[in-house]
């Protein structure tokens, strides 16, 4: 399994809104299928109404998504911990 970040636009109520979803999947096609499944079950969106703009493989250490940190827990710990960009307040 690999970590993927899927971005796109989907209907949320009466509006269309951009989304980004990090999830574990075996390949890019599986990541798309899981995205359609998750968005359909959470927001009752049809597959035809969801526009996926990109599917890219990411380093699991850069994600804060609980699904990713749980699935790749051992790999993240073995690599020395998470790589999270800190936003400093000015």
Task: Check which CATH number belongs to the domain holding 74 and give it.
Answer: 3.10.20.10
What is the arithmetic mean of pLDDT over 27-48? 94
Does the predicted TM-score (pTM) go above 0.75? Answer: yes
- Whether residue 5 has pLDDT greater than 90: yes
Please indicate, yes or no, if residue 48 is contained in any of the structural domains: yes
Q: What per-residue string of b and e applies to 53-72 under the rule 16 or more CB within 10 Å gives b?
A: eebeeeebbebebeebbebb
pLDDT at residue 65, as a whole number: 92
Please indicate, yes or no, if residue 84 is contained in any of the structural domains: no
Q: What percent of the chain has pLDDT over 90?
A: 69
What is the span of the domain harbouring residue 70? Answer: 2-78
- Whether residue 24 has pLDDT greater than 90: yes
Name the band, by pLDDT with cuts 50, 70 and 90, for residue 19: very high
Please indicate, yes or no, if residue 25 is contained in any of the structural domains: yes
The CA-CA-CA angle for residues 55, 2, 23, to 5°, reads: 60
How many independent structural domains does the chain possess? 1
- Whether residue 42 has pLDDT greater than 70: yes
């Amino acid at each position: 399994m690999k970590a993927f970040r899927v971005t796109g636009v989907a209907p949320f109520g009466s509006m269309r809104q951009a989304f980004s979803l990090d999830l574990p999947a075996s390949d890019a096609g599986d990541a798309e299928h899981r995205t359609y499944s998750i968005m359909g079950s959470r927001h009752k969106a049809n597959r035809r109404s969801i526009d996926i703009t990109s599917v890219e493989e990411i380093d699991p250490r850069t994600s804060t998504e609980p699904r990713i940190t749980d699935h790749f827990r051992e790999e993240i710990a073995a690599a020395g911990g998470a790589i999270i960009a800190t936003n400093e307040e000015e």
